[in-house]
Structure 1
Amino acid sequence: MFKEYINDAWLPILRHNQLDSFEALWELNKDDWFEPPNYRRGGWSGVIRTRIALPEGGKVGVFIKRQENHFFRSWRNLFRLTATFEREFRNILNFRKLGVPTLEPIYYCQKMVDGKLRAIVVTRELEGYQPFDAPCYRPIGQLGTSRRGQLIAQVAKTLRHMHDARLQHNCLYLKHIFVREAVGGAIDVRLIDLEKAKWRPIRSIISTRDLYSLYRCADGWSRTDRLRFFLAYRGEDHLSVESKKRLRGIVKRLLDKKRRL
């Protein structure tokens, strides 16, 4: 269990703002919510966004997520209370360790306070990034052919890298894929909301589950866009026999979902 984690590169910045303790981060802008608290099962979880000063001047944006009495249980923690944020934080560290682009962690800690389990996760704001379901990307067919192709290719490459590492996102929607387009045309992709992510041994199961979720929420994507994405994901110019089998499996799940609605 993580008692407390502080990113060494960020410690001077937190100290400069007198935010290098659990208590200070818990009280900061306590009622100024970016995402109002979500109350359930006797606990709550919420997010604030703020900008903190840099020692050399200027400011940087950070997100501070706070929760109270939100737990999860697994075979690893049957006999102790563990905040759901710990699972998300472990996944952030693991994704970064495996070279899968995600958030930059700054701080994590969980504590029992007055008989209640509290947890805090602090990450750097993805400044200059947009979620892949932002209005500027909807519908994706509105984009120029070259730009659309580059975006699709880079997102597909990032997801392939995640799946090659046997990591399943488990909640892979366009809003959890953040994109930044540089002036020169370079594209950077980051994956967020890793609370449900997990390692699984069989890559085909991983890709089918995640790509099904992605396609299900990809409003405005034409059949051609979805095919181009899948080809980029598979690294192919034309669908191989194995790719056709995988794609049929995803399409079948989508059709079955529609019939149930």
Structure 2
Amino acid sequence: MSDFIAMADREILARHGLDSFDSLWDLRLDAVDEPNTGRGGWSSVFRLDLGDAAYYLKRQSNFLSRSLRRPFGEPTFAREFRNIRRYQELGVPALQAAFFGTREIADERRAILVSRALDGWRELAAWLELWSSMLVEQRSAVIAAVAGLARRLHGAGQVHGCFYPKHVFLRETQAGFDTCLIDLEKTRPLLLGCRDRVKDLETLVRRADAWGDAEVRELLACYLELPADSGEVNGWLARLASRRRNKERSQ
């Protein structure tokens, strides 16, 4: 069975004897958190340090997602790996896959996904915890970077589907901030225009507790590339507020 191994990581994995599905499956490591035991199986995440290179190794068994196209299900990592590749092709910054493979053994469906660790990056949720102590210029740079990432994502015709602050990563640079996305399992094509875009943005701002009305307006102005007091920005603020009310009523 053919497995994916990124060219940039092939030599590193081979040097440590970890360039095969079985070697990665049998490797003994401590999980970074409790296994996810939903979907009738399990899924675990491990930190993998190989000298100067660092990765996250994810393994799962019978942890499946189902769709009209795949009614009998497939490992959730398979969908995430396809989306990682799609983001790469579309030029949307996201985590990078080093290895992917699946196996069917009797009634067990196994999958492995190895991605490069985002060392030196920090999730937006962590930046939000520091928000009150950050300089105004630094806050604006974060907002502009996140808005630019959302604009690039939607401009590529994709909806993240789980656009939480913990899934947006930033790395500070001299020019501002680099950004990238993780957790791409729920990504899908942007089919409903403004409605899909509002869904991603409302999901983000609803969980960005440190942001007030001024920050949300600034985010939308950067996203739309329009003045903050423009009528279109006001219209988008109303759309986000309407979606939040609908979400709260449905809970």
Same fold (TM over 0.5): yes
Look up the SS of the partner of 2:240 in the other structure.
helix
Aligned equivalents of 1:14 and 1:91: distance in 2? 23
Aligned equivalents of 2:217 and 2:91: distance in 1? 26
Is 1:119–2:111 an aligned residue pair? Answer: yes
**Counterpart selection for 1:105 from 72, 97, 108:** 97
Look up the SS of the partner of 1:221 in the other structure.
coil
Aligned equivalents of 2:150 and 2:2: distance in 1? 31
Q: Percent identity?
A: 34
Is 1:21–2:20 an aligned residue pair? Answer: yes
Matched residues, number: 251
Which digits, 9 at most, give the CA deviation of each residue in 1:225-251, with x for residues without a partner?
Answer: 111111111111234444332321111
Is 1:67–2:66 an aligned residue pair? Answer: no
**Counterpart selection for 1:77 from 70, 74, 82:** 70
Listed as ranges, the gaps of 5+ residues in structure 1 are 54-58
Closer/same/farther in 2, CA of residues 139 and 11 from structure 1, 3 Å limit: closer
Report the CA distance between 1:259 and its aligned residue: 4.8
RMSD of Structure 2 on Structure 1 (CA): 1.8
What is the identity, as a one-letter code, of the residue corresponding to 1:72?
Answer: S
Look up the SS of the partner of 1:133 in the other structure.
helix
Look up the SS of the partner of 1:40 in the other structure.
coil
Aligned equivalents of 1:29 and 1:11: distance in 2? 20
Which digits, 9 at most, give the CA deviation of each residue in 1:174-212, with x for residues without a partner?
Answer: 000011113x24311010011111112333122110011
What is the identity, as a one-letter code, of the residue corresponding to 1:61?
Answer: A
What TM-score, normalized by structure 1, do the two folds share?
0.90
**Counterpart selection for 1:162 from 150, 153, 171:** 153
Q: Give the 5 Å matches for 1:188-199.
A: 188-199=178-189
Aligned equivalents of 1:174 and 1:45: distance in 2? 22
Moved over 3 A (4+): 238-243, 256-261
Q: Give the 5 Å matches for 1:32-51.
A: 32-51=30-49
Aligned equivalents of 2:135 and 2:98: distance in 1? 37
Closer/same/farther in 2, CA of residues 85 and 244 from structure 1, 3 Å limit: same
Which structure is higher in helix share?
2
What TM-score, normalized by structure 2, do the two folds share?
0.93
Aligned equivalents of 1:125 and 1:158: distance in 2? 20
